[in-house]
Amino acid sequence: MNADFVACTKGKGTKKQIVQACTRLIDNAAKENEIVGYFYAFRAAANTDKKSNCKDAHKVIELIKDPKVIKGAKVLIKNNC
The pLDDT assigned to 1 comes to 58
* Entry pTM: 0.93
pLDDT tens digits, 7-22: 999 998 999 999 999 9
In the chain, the DSSP E strands lie at none
Distance CA 70, CA 64 (A): 7
Q: Residue 65 belongs to what domain range?
A: 3-80
3-state secondary structure of 36: helix
pLDDT tens digits, 44-53: 999 999 999 9
Contact 59, 37 (CB under 8 A): yes
- Looking at the structure of the chain, the number of domains it has is 1
Q: What residues have CB less than 8 Å from 41, skipping those under 6 apart?
A: 56, 60, 64, 69, 72, 73
